[in-house]
A and B are shown apart, each in its own frame.
Chain A
Amino acid sequence: MSKRVFYILGLLLILGALLAACGGQNSSNAQPVKTVVVTVEAKGNAASGQGATLKAVKDRGYLVCGVNAQLPGFGYVDKEGNYKGFDVDYCHAVAAAIFGDPSKVEFRPLTAKERFTALQTGEIDVLIRNTTWTLTRDTELGTNFAPTTFYDGQGIMVRKDSGIKKLEDLDGAKICVATGTTTELNLADQMSARGIKYTPVVFETADQVFGAYEEGRCDAVTTDKSGLVSRRVTLKNPDDHIILDATLSKEPLGPLVRQGDDQWFDIIKWVVFATFTGEEMGINSKNVDKIKAETKDPNVKKFLGLEGEMGQKLGLSDDWAYNIIKYVGNYAEIYERNLGPNTPFNLPRGLNASWKDGGLLYAPPIR
């Protein structure tokens, strides 16, 4: 037998396998059935079982939080090398709820493409990286979405001197976009619905996307509007660029966890709700100690851990919400600190206001 025969056999085998994979509807559908037995025995010892995540985090002594490192305002590294931003503050809030110490977090910077695999494989405990809640991601990816922390919408930024005013002007345009985002899909959907021809130029990271846009590779660049506002500040001449009025999509951004550990899912959900509740009750990091000492309101007492043992139901200490408000702040404080009028972004609250002020933030009662 000559070597060549081996090569050819190998090649045929691979091609055969590929064809079977592509064409074999039956075989691929049958596969899950065969391995059901494995599923059952796996549930018991898998690290993602009920209550396992909290235990793992406590044993480790710190939280591992997947974040963005390239989106000023939401997740970025400042000049001193510290992670800062809206999403980053939510990582601190989770750490404060678990340990009573917001600094017990290790950050993992992830690209849009890496993020779900990192969560699925257990490399991170929670993903808080401006991630849009969609049905597919909630189901097929094996992840669960906690309540939305930021309601966003997709926008398009162009050069002022390009004369582009509305979506229809983009006919024939090249548009820079990041891979692995809902943005990429929305763009295709919206343009196809309107019959506008365009060419996407796809990159892995936001730095590459905006770098190529700035070099003039694309007529337009698209991502969530908050992302456009935040990245525009970093361009050479921010005033040369405008963001079109059109909003292409709904982008509810929030934290997500692996499926299969409901206790951990509950903790993340209620950490988010605690920041909403803090704003609803008018409790912030400055007045929380005073209110805790003086309050007679049963709802506030339950919230701050003076009554009802709410924290224990989550597997945490009763002052979990107090710690969040005390060390990180309520929603309004987190927002103002990272995106408010004193920052370069100056984003209006819009939909991200409490329901009392006509926004969408509404927390179920803590009782």
Chain B
Amino acid sequence: MNEAVPFWRDERVLKWIAQIVFLVAVVASVWYLYHNMITALAARNLLPSFHFLKLTAGFDIGEHLIPYSRNSTYGRAFLVGVLNTIEVSFLGIIFATILGIIIGLMRLSTNWLLNKLASIYIEIIRNVPLLVLLVFWYTGVFLQFPRLKQAKILPGPTIVSNRGIAMPWGTPTATWHTYLYILLAGLILAAIVWWRLTLIGKRTGRMPLVTVWSFLTFLGVAALGWGLVTLIFHQAPLALSTPEIKGLRTVGGLELTPEFLALFSGLVFYTAAFIAEVVRAGIQSVSKGQIEAARALGLNGFQTLRLVVFPQALRVIVPPMTSQYLNLTKNSSLAVFIGFPDLYSVAGTIHNQTGRAVEVTVLMMGVYLSFSLATSIFMNWYNKKIRLVER
């Protein structure tokens, strides 16, 4: 009576078969593409090999965070590009976030002028391609500064010319390493203060200004340490280096090139427009009743924002913010159009000098993927931390 269902009509079996067929199709196409590539490369005597990374690069790079010269290897040149990309993305993310939050709050302001200014900014910047903005900043702004001979010297001295901006900067001296340990001690002390004050706050129900006190602790230790080191070793941890014009260049201080400045400004102002909208969306997602309740409790405008609105808005803000950060990092590869030696630009040169297209592209994709995954991990961790705790 109870006849078994034949397997070709058994839904469970069919599901499995579909999965297996799909898997085989995916594996086969990947294998086909790989085989195709290897065959084509072999026919041209270009089998994949990363040996070239050990050879002398032979070209110079304009900006490098680690020592580099034409005698360095291709591997090191690649690393220089990676670090330049990290530098501009990291600084870009921080400044874009600050600017984006300010503009997002302006956009919500009841002050008509602020509100309209923010709207106009967002609408203009969001609707212009980033590449156009970069070229604008580069050729329209930073290259239009006076020539070095007629450079504008601002107090500091800060030298502003079409060779970039050179400003005073501290250079580490022999005692810098000792001072680093004191800074570390300051950090630990600040963390202890944070922990103790939070405990006290929880016990008494009156939360002290935890952040402010921890920060003051750190500053205090840093200042005290500075004085001590200078007294004991007769040398401050950092010496002031001021820029001066010498021949065709500026010497000393911190030099920011027009390429870096243009890329940095372009990325910050562009991404800030998107972040502003993300912030606005997050804040508007907090129901009006919450704000009214906060006001009814007697909190002022800033307190309402800090204690009631922001903690709830963050849940909505963080996920889209993560994609803005990823966008900024990846957009930094447009640097190649304005001559900033980022990862993409340097990798392009290496590819060209060695002819190793596949290897260089794989390395480059791997690095960008790592950046993106690292950012995602951090932001997901943060997202989890601020998630609404339901009781």
A interface residues, Cβ below 8 angstroms from B: 3-4, 7-8, 10-11, 14-15, 17-18, 21-22, 24-25, 28-29, 31-32, 35, 38-39, 41-43, 46, 48, 112-113, 116-117, 120-121, 136-137, 140-142, 170-174, 179-180, 184-185, 187-189, 191-192, 198-204, 208, 211-212, 215-217, 219, 258-260
Give me 21 A-to-B residue pairs in the complex whose CB atoms sit less than 8 angstroms apart, sorted by A's number.
A15-B370, A21-B363, A22-B75, A31-B47, A31-B49, A35-B38, A113-B351, A116-B352, A136-B353, A137-B355, A140-B355, A171-B248, A179-B348, A185-B353, A189-B58, A192-B71, A199-B249, A204-B337, A208-B339, A216-B143, A217-B162
- Which of the 9-residue segments B17-25, B116-124, B325-333, B371-379 touches chain A? B371-379
| Most B C-beta atoms less than 10 A away, residue of A28, A46, A173, A198 | A28
Q: Is the CB of B355 within 8 A of A142?
A: yes
Q: What CA separation (Å) do A173 and B355 show in the bound complex?
A: 30
Residues of A within 8 A of B144 (CB): 215
Q: What CA separation (Å) do A127 and B313 show in the bound complex?
A: 58
Number of B positions contacting A (CB below 8 A): 63
Contact with A along B32-48 (1 / 0, CB 8 A): 00010011101111111
Quick one: closest A residue to B142, CB to CB? A217
- B366 close to chain A: CB less than 8 A: yes
Q: Is the CB of B43 within 8 A of A46?
A: yes
Q: What CA separation (Å) do A184 and B349 show in the bound complex?
A: 10
Q: What CA separation (Å) do A201 and B164 show in the bound complex?
A: 13
Q: Is the CB of B380 within 8 A of A172?
A: no
Quick one: closest B residue to A43, CB to CB? B43
Q: Is the CB of A208 within 8 A of B337?
A: yes
Task: Identify B50's interface contact among A8, A28, A180, A189, CB under 8 A.
Answer: A28
Q: Is the CB of B339 within 8 A of A258?
A: no
Closest CB-CB distance, B248 to chain A, in whole Å? 5
Q: What CA separation (Å) do A204 and B48 show in the bound complex?
A: 25
Q: What CA separation (Å) do A4 and B349 show in the bound complex?
A: 35
Residues of A within 8 A of B246 (CB): 172
Q: What CA separation (Å) do A355 and B190 show in the bound complex?
A: 81
Quick one: closest A residue to B58, CB to CB? A185
Q: Is the CB of B355 within 8 A of A112?
A: no
Q: Is the CB of B349 within 8 A of A179?
A: yes
Residues of A within 8 A of B42 (CB): 35, 38-39, 42
Q: Is the CB of A179 within 8 A of B352?
A: yes
Task: Identify A258's interface contact among B44, B355, B366, CB under 8 A.
Answer: B44
Name B's interface SS.
helix
Quick one: closest B residue to A116, CB to CB? B355
Q: Is the CB of B355 within 8 A of A113?
A: no
Residues of B within 8 A of A22 (CB): 50, 53, 75
Q: What CA separation (Å) do A187 and B70 show in the bound complex?
A: 10
Instruction: List residues 361-391 of chain B with CB under 8 A from any CB of chain A.
Output: 362-363, 366-367, 369-370, 373-374, 376-377, 380-381
With contact pairs A31-B47, A180-B352, A203-B339 given, residues A18 and B59 touching in the complex (Cβ less than 8 Å) = no
Task: Identify A215's interface contact among B71, B162, B367, CB under 8 A.
Answer: B162
Q: What CA separation (Å) do A3 and B381 show in the bound complex?
A: 11
Q: Is the CB of A188 within 8 A of B373?
A: no
Q: What CA separation (Å) do A191 and B376 show in the bound complex?
A: 43
Q: Is the CB of B44 within 8 A of A14?
A: no
Q: What CA separation (Å) do A32 and B353 show in the bound complex?
A: 21
- B69 close to chain A: CB less than 8 A: yes
Q: What CA separation (Å) do A116 and B35 show in the bound complex?
A: 22
Q: Which 5 A-B pairs have the closest CB atoms?
A: A180-B352, A46-B43, A188-B70, A172-B249, A141-B355
Closest CB-CB distance, B202 to chain A, in whole Å? 28
Q: Is the CB of B45 within 8 A of A259?
A: yes
Residues of B within 8 A of A137 (CB): 355
Residues of A within 8 A of B107 (CB): none
Quick one: closest A residue to B369, CB to CB? A14
Residues of A within 8 A of B58 (CB): 185, 188-189
Residues of B within 8 A of A198 (CB): 60
Quick one: closest A residue to B259, CB to CB? A201
Q: What CA separation (Å) do A15 and B370 show in the bound complex?
A: 7
| Most A C-beta atoms less than 10 A away, residue of B50, B61, B363 | B50
Closest CB-CB distance, A223 to chain B, in whole Å? 15
- B177 close to chain A: CB less than 8 A: no
Quick one: closest B residue to A192, CB to CB? B70
With contact pairs A35-B42, A142-B46, A260-B44 given, residues A201 and B247 touching in the complex (Cβ less than 8 Å) = no
Residues of B within 8 A of A184 (CB): 59-60, 349
Q: What CA separation (Å) do A184 and B246 show in the bound complex?
A: 25
Q: Is the CB of B354 within 8 A of A140?
A: yes
Q: Is the CB of B60 within 8 A of A200?
A: yes
Q: Is the CB of A120 within 8 A of B46?
A: yes
Task: Identify B49's interface contact among A7, A32, A38, CB under 8 A.
Answer: A32
